Structure 1
Amino acid sequence: MRVDVIGWAALGLLLIAAETLAPGAFMLWMGFAAIAVFLAVLVVPGIPVLAQVAAFVVLSFVSIQIYRKWFRKAARESDQPLLNRRAQQNIGLVAPLDQAIVAGRGRIKLGDAFWTVEGPDLPAGTPVRVVAVDGMMLKVQEA
């Protein structure tokens, strides 16, 4: 058997096997592209190596785009979309300022954590509502 045929078969199988070890549906589609090139080289001998590589690149790109368009969007949505977005979970909460807002910055205690806040200058103890998040900075206004 020819080296190019064996090489594409091995690459296809390695990519598919790698997908089982590190799932993410990325290498699987590249493995399918390698298998397609393997089949083409097996059926039509004499395809130049550069054309084989170009076909693999194009087929990989096309197969990944097909996955992204038709298969990936079918992923179910989380019942807790803010689970790992702790700062955004605080939007809408009302609490008194722990530290006065001076020059636009202060501090608030929500749950067991202290948060830096931005907003209009207000004295300590004033109830404020979290209205937005900028990274780990909470934007507040007087409640």
Structure 2
Amino acid sequence: MSWNWPTVAWAAVALLLFAAEAMAPGAFMLWLGLAAAAVFVLVLALPELTVLTQVAAFVVLSFVSVQVYRTWFRKREPASDQPLLNRRAEQLIGRVVPLERGIVAGRGRVQIADAFWDVSGPDLPAGALVRVVGAEAMVLHVEAAG
């Protein structure tokens, strides 16, 4: 076992990638870290490998490990019990509310709870009941209710 600079470098790269995964979880750096760790073991076993061969092995192993993640592990992640948790506008779809400001030239405004929302839809007077049928960014798409 020889501890030359490529061996130490691959160990350091693997540790840095594992640390990056720990600080910013997302299950991506983990797989690159595993590829770097595999190259580290490869360089320990075969110290005569050129740097170009080592880098090529890292690239190939990184690609393979990411594909393994995408194929087998990503599909097994549990579905969220609240898929609209951070999609506030989409949570409002289906609600019926009165117009706070009538819709003129396709634009109006409603108040839902303590928030005011811009709306788009057919021209309607203030106070008319509208149903939220869609959302795009911070604009709710509405239609006349009833």
User: 1:111 & 1:38 partners in 2: Cα distance?
Assistant: 58
User: 2:69 & 2:35 partners in 1: Cα distance?
Assistant: 12
Equivalences, count: 143
State the shift of 1:132 in Å: 0.7
Q: Does residue 11 in structure 1 map to residue 13 in structure 2?
A: yes
Instruction: Name 1:141's counterpart in structure 2.
Output: 143
State the shift of 1:23 in Å: 2.4
Instruction: Name 2:123's counterpart in structure 1.
Output: 121
- Which runs of 5 or more residues in structure 1 are unaligned? none
Secondary structure (helix, strand or coil) at the match of 2:88 reads: coil
Where do 1:8-87 residues align within 5 Å? Answer: 8-87=10-89
User: 1:17 & 1:124 partners in 2: Cα distance?
Assistant: 56
- Which runs of 5 or more residues in structure 2 are unaligned? none
Secondary structure (helix, strand or coil) at the match of 2:132 reads: strand
User: What code does the residue aligned with 1:46 have?
Assistant: E
User: 1:113 & 1:136 partners in 2: Cα distance?
Assistant: 11
User: What code does the residue aligned with 2:65 have?
Assistant: S
Instruction: Name 1:110's counterpart in structure 2.
Output: 112
Instruction: Name 1:99's counterpart in structure 2.
Output: 101
TM-score (norm 1): 0.92
User: 1:12 & 1:27 partners in 2: Cα distance?
Assistant: 9
User: 2:16 & 2:115 partners in 1: Cα distance?
Assistant: 47
